[in-house]
Amino acid sequence: MAFLLGIDVGTSGAKALIMDENGAVQSVHTEHYPLSTPEPLWSEQDPEHWWEATCACCRAVLAQSEVAPADIRAVGLTGQMHGLVLLDKNDEVLRPAILWNDQRTESQCRDMIARFGVDDLLDLTANPVLPGFTAPKILWVREQEPEIYERIKHFLLPKDYLRFRLTGEFATEVSDASGTSLFDVQAREWSETLFHALDIPLAWAPVCAESTLLTGQVSREAAAATGLAPGTVVVGGAGDQAAQALGSGLSQEGLVSATLGTSGVVFAPTSDPLIDNEGRLHAFCHANPGMWHVMGVMLSAGGSLRWFRDALGDEEMRAEVIGGKSGYDRLAEEAAGIEIGSEGLYFLPYLIGERTPHPDPHARACFIGLTLRHGRAHMARAVFEGVTFGMRDSLELIRDLGIEPAQIRVSGGGAKSAFWRQMLADVFSTEIAQVNVTEGAAFGAALLAGVGAGIYSDVDSACDLIVRVVDTLSPDLERAARYEDHYERFGKLYPALQSHFRKRY
């Protein structure tokens, strides 16, 4: 039997997964690494930590599964999008990677908008330019760290740095490249117009392929570090959200997914590039060749719950698992004891700025409506509701494009909570489904590896063979009606506070 390896370089850690050709997961292992915030709103990581964690993960899953390295037919890569890794002429990393949730590049974004105009940027890239994207980070380095900029020979996205370490090749694929503000999403290729206008050498960019194409082979040096067999093929892979969507079976239009991870994403495949006229939704190439997708992204979904647990929870709640329950389980239990609407308490989940529907790096989180009546349980419920309302903002924008899902497939760590799944069903007024795949992006990367290796004829066939719905939750009409009023009130809070957020203290 053939086996496939998926590797996911996430924000908090790297994950490796081995599955067989029928989609049965043989082993999974995660290694964590630190996140650096050297200045307010900055977010960086050392790419060497990604590599060290990946090597440890590969060795662990091979040992746990007892799969022979030679039986791994292909490797698929996925990971956090938009991050900037810079290499010099000796292929050495020049500075820590600037990550997707870094907000330092507001002025560079303004400069790009002033130069091109919002409409032309949408025409060129199908997206607005945002502080988390890659191009403004390159411009920031040019302005703030010219001595580093002068030494740049290559730039890579996070998962593609792993590809380089595995294969020695400088390559990426269309779904991840879509989020750089340097890519023609409609044509599925780098935009020479943007590279030339921004005076960024196109030669710095990695070769860009479709997500299912072969991009290299594991080198002897990488094989020694990871335990993989030399010559194992490495497939293009995908950005984390496209890979996550394939793990939920979203290869064709008609389905919508909601991912409750550190960030929150509502994702819909499309057969043509659909562009929100105001640029509030991302429009990227899908990992399924010939397909695109739209998605709304909120930066602090599960991240808001993690912040609340760590900042305001007790020692028991901050523990990972006690008596079979996680701190998040105990948060949900407390929140479930409070009525819908948290007795007038609302939470804006903008801990690190926001993207959808408010592309605002200055947006801030806050509790609104606190009284002596409110306790931790009220606040916990307000956090769950605030994040869910934020996710609905994205869903409403997708509905405005004419996409009306009959069912939404939910995934990510937050999807483990039956309380949260039911809240999603009620707030979205839509059936919520879970699938048999629980490993998300790493699984999607392995699936893409199988297509690239010829085990599956195409992405659609792979999804149809492996992914199936195992559970559904229907909305409660009475609760849905009550949530509607609170969602309307929630929607008025950011506009009322926007000017305050921009003040500096």
Cα separation, 250 vs 230, whole angstroms: 33
CB-CB contact of 14 with 57 (8 Å): yes
CB atoms within 10 A of CB 337: 10
Cα separation, 134 vs 253, whole angstroms: 28
* Phi–psi pair at 326, nearest 5 degrees: -85, 170
Q: How many helices (H) and strands (E) does the chain have?
A: 19, 25
- Start-to-end Cα distance in the chain: 62
Structure tokens at 115: 């130069």
Element at 198 (helix H, strand E): helix 192-198
Cα separation, 389 vs 357, whole angstroms: 11
Cα separation, 153 vs 158, whole angstroms: 16
Around 269, how many Cα atoms within 13 Å sit in the side-chain half-sphere?
23
Residues designated as active site: 240
Cα separation, 208 vs 213, whole angstroms: 10
| Burial classification of residue 479, based on how many CB atoms lie within 10 Å of its CB (0-12 exposed, 13-18 middle, 19 or more buried) | middle
**Closest alpha carbon to 204 in 214, 195, 215, 216:** 195
Edge-to-edge strand list for the sheet holding 72-79: 25-32, 13-20, 3-9, 72-79, 233-239, 214-217
